[in-house]
Chain A
Amino acid sequence: MTDAAAPSGFRRSFGLWVTQGPAVLILAILAGVVIGETPLPLSTVAAVFANRLWDAGLILDPIDAGIIWSYRLPRTLVAAGCGAGLALSGVVLQALVRNALADPYLLGVSAGAGAGAVAVTILGVGGGLLGISGGAFIGATLSFVVVAALARAAGGGSAQLVLAGIAGSQLFNALTSFLIAKSANAEQARGIMFWLLGNLSGVRWPDVMLAAPVAIIGFLICLWFARAMDAFSFGVSSAASLGVPVRQVQIVLIGAVTLMTATMVSLVGSIGFVGLVIPHAMRFIVGPRHARLVPASALAGAVFLIAADIASRMLIPGQVVPIGVVTALVGAPGFAMILVHSRRRL
């Protein structure tokens, strides 16, 4: 929160984010690459980067090089992109809906994206033209429309939206289970269930090329609308009277949330709690103003999901725990703390 020295304090903290944010992110990414079942020293990592980026021609164990470049690095980058995207989606939804419980998971967007992705994989909806991401995007959009329409029919308050989101999640999750039970063989079903719980094992470079641009574009959109999101603090009508073109801002921001959630779910399955816990934790640290909350949440979401991915690889030796399970194990107690700390804000 601002204090008496707000202007200079603001500049200083903003400057900190700009200069140290990328440094923290790079450190986290390095940790994601170094730590694993076979720990690889930083010198090997540096050599792989030198070879790949500058053709240094250093002699390396090709297996180590492969693990670093083709497996751990893309996986870590996608984790960063997903964490940032999900945390930003939470920030935006909480600002627009004015409800502390709003996040893509609770509002049913993740469930819709999952159902869309499963419909494409199992039923072949779209005849191969829609990739999994396309299916997830359509599913996410559809679930958002269904949830918003239901909330509107129920009176349009933010509590109604959260309740409608719960109903929507149940509906789309049931649809997913139904599709799996009806059409998938046992092998497919196991794979899909594993994917739905959140799983980064299959991630390769093409996935980075999707996750990174979407996360960056989403981040820039959120940053651009930071002041508009502040103006929603006292409600939609107050935002309008402060000169915010409410309808346009809502459409662009909800579009960005749908794009980010759909992309991330299609890549790694549905991961809960990031969109809920990270923005609230960051509010305690940097305050409610979005010029700081947006970069802080993007960074913290990225670092958190990289850490969760490391944990998912290391918790049980020889086995990968779904990352959604890890985020829930950390997120549920975190969420409980938020509930206790912000009784009045719900």
Chain B
Amino acid sequence: MRLAAKSVGWAAGSRRIVQEVSLEIAPGETFGLIGPNGSGKSTLLRLLAGLLARPFGAVLLDGDPLTSLSRRDIAQQIAVVEQIAETSEALSVRDVVELGRTPWLSALAPFGAQDRVIVAESLAAVDMADMAGHSWATLSGGERQRVQIARALAQRPRLMMLDEPTNHLDIHHQLSLLRLVGDLPVTVVMALHDLNQAMRCDRLGVMEAGRLVACGPPEDVLTTARLASIFRVRATRLRDPADDATVFRFQCLEE
């Protein structure tokens, strides 16, 4: 599953939100998108999933432009977890996860035993099996996030797009989610704002004011100079003696 963006962009009216982004995501890779608030990460993710009207450029899925595929074909390959998910329907947790099977069902292939197994596995993967019967409306922000991820897993996609998936999660669930996502046999593209978590991605893309200004392995991308200019922080690299991993400590530059 190879996803390629060829100078994609998007404008809201006359305002350019994302401009001239080209990148290629390799099969099985975990790709992180970082950048300050409002730099266009969410918009770029939606562009890559083909969810925005009137895009510039082209997104190719295994060589085929997204615009030539049906929504159903795309949804069988790409699952999206947006930053916010809200509903006014009184859905249960299981109802929400079952939505993930939508692209695989039709009048001739109704929801069946295999779908039930997939839904149960997806719930278990995010540690929500016990809460399957709970009402979505009563969940905490972190639980909702995990349910949406279970919904995306139930889609059995080859590529998952996650927009700040660790938002609202407590530290245990942040780490276990990142491990889960990293262990999945699928390609992952996710927007992250915790730069230490971003260090665990295979490659990072850095967004600034709607442009992709850097792209590569985390150690190459997260230079002290770049962290100062884009994120406006002074970063100190530290080494964790336990596993020799690099961690950052940040201080605000404007102090």
Give the B-binding residues of A (Cβ under 8 A): 1-4, 6-7, 98-100, 224, 227-228, 230-231, 233-235, 237-238, 240-246, 283, 287-289, 344-346
Using known A-B contacts A100-B88, A242-B75, A344-B137, determine if residue A231 contacts B82 with beta carbons closer than 8 Å. Answer: no
In the complex, what distance in Å separates the CA atom of A231 from the CA atom of B72?
A: 12
Using known A-B contacts A238-B82, A240-B71, A241-B80, determine if residue A288 contacts B46 with beta carbons closer than 8 Å. Answer: no
Q: Collect the chain B residues with CB atoms within 8 Å of residue A224's CB.
A: 107
Indicate whether B132 reaches chain A with its CB closer than 8 angstroms: yes
Query: Interface-forming stretch among B25-33, B96-104, B190-198?
Result: B96-104
Residue contact B79 to A235, C-beta cutoff 8 Å: no
Indicate whether B180 reaches chain A with its CB closer than 8 angstroms: no
Residue contact A243 to B86, C-beta cutoff 8 Å: no
Whole-angstrom distance between the Cβ of A119 and the nearest chain B Cβ: 36
B residues 37-57 near A (Cβ < 8 Å) are 46, 49, 51
Nearest 9 pairs of A and B residues by beta carbon:
A243-B75, A243-B103, A243-B72, A288-B89, A241-B80, A242-B102, A345-B88, A233-B87, A233-B89
Q: Collect the chain A residues with CB atoms within 8 Å of residue B105's CB.
A: 227
Indicate whether B213 reaches chain A with its CB closer than 8 angstroms: no
Residue contact B102 to A243, C-beta cutoff 8 Å: yes
Q: CB within 8 A of B116: which of A7, A228, A233, A289?
A: A7
In the complex, what distance in Å separates the CA atom of A235 from the CA atom of B51?
A: 12
Q: CB within 8 A of A1: which of B78, B92, B107?
A: B92
Q: Collect the chain B residues with CB atoms within 8 Å of residue A99's CB.
A: 88
Encoded as 1 (CB less than 8 Å from any A CB) or 0, chain B from 63 to 79 comes to 00000001111111011
In the complex, what distance in Å separates the CA atom of A346 from the CA atom of B115?
A: 32
Using known A-B contacts A2-B133, A240-B71, A241-B75, determine if residue A234 contacts B102 with beta carbons closer than 8 Å. Answer: no
In the complex, what distance in Å separates the CA atom of A345 from the CA atom of B135?
A: 14
Using known A-B contacts A2-B94, A243-B103, determine if residue A234 contacts B85 with beta carbons closer than 8 Å. Answer: yes
Indicate whether B124 reaches chain A with its CB closer than 8 angstroms: no
Whole-angstrom distance between the Cβ of B60 and the nearest chain A Cβ: 18
Residue contact B90 to A288, C-beta cutoff 8 Å: yes
In the complex, what distance in Å separates the CA atom of A260 from the CA atom of B58?
A: 41
Q: Collect the chain B residues with CB atoms within 8 Å of residue A346's CB.
A: 88
Indicate whether B121 reaches chain A with its CB closer than 8 angstroms: no
Residue contact B99 to A233, C-beta cutoff 8 Å: yes
Most-contacted residue by chain A among B73, B82, B86, B102 (CB, 10 A): B102
Query: Which residue on A lies nearest to B155, using beta carbons?
Result: A242
Whole-angstrom distance between the Cβ of B70 and the nearest chain A Cβ: 7
Query: Which residue on B lies nearest to A95, using beta carbons?
Result: B89
Residue contact B71 to A244, C-beta cutoff 8 Å: yes
Q: Collect the chain A residues with CB atoms within 8 Å of residue B76's CB.
A: 243
Residue contact B90 to A287, C-beta cutoff 8 Å: yes
In the complex, what distance in Å separates the CA atom of A345 from the CA atom of B86?
A: 11
Query: Which residue on B lies nearest to A158, using beta carbons?
Result: B88
In the complex, what distance in Å separates the CA atom of A99 from the CA atom of B96?
A: 19
Indicate whether B95 reaches chain A with its CB closer than 8 angstroms: yes
Encoded as 1 (CB less than 8 Å from any A CB) or 0, chain B from 89 to 129 comes to 11110111001101101010000000010000000000000
Residue contact B51 to A237, C-beta cutoff 8 Å: yes
Query: Which residue on B lies nearest to A226, using beta carbons?
Result: B107
Whole-angstrom distance between the Cβ of A238 and the nearest chain B Cβ: 7
Q: Collect the chain A residues with CB atoms within 8 Å of residue B95's CB.
A: 1-2, 230, 287-289
Q: Collect the chain A residues with CB atoms within 8 Å of residue B73's CB.
A: 243
In the complex, what distance in Å separates the CA atom of A242 from the CA atom of B241?
A: 44
Whole-angstrom distance between the Cβ of B223 and the nearest chain A Cβ: 35
Query: Which residue on B lies nearest to A7, using beta carbons?
Result: B116
Query: Which residue on B lies nearest to A5, using beta carbons?
Result: B133
Query: Which residue on A lies nearest to B72, using beta carbons?
Result: A243
Q: Collect the chain B residues with CB atoms within 8 Å of residue A1's CB.
A: 90-92, 95, 133, 135
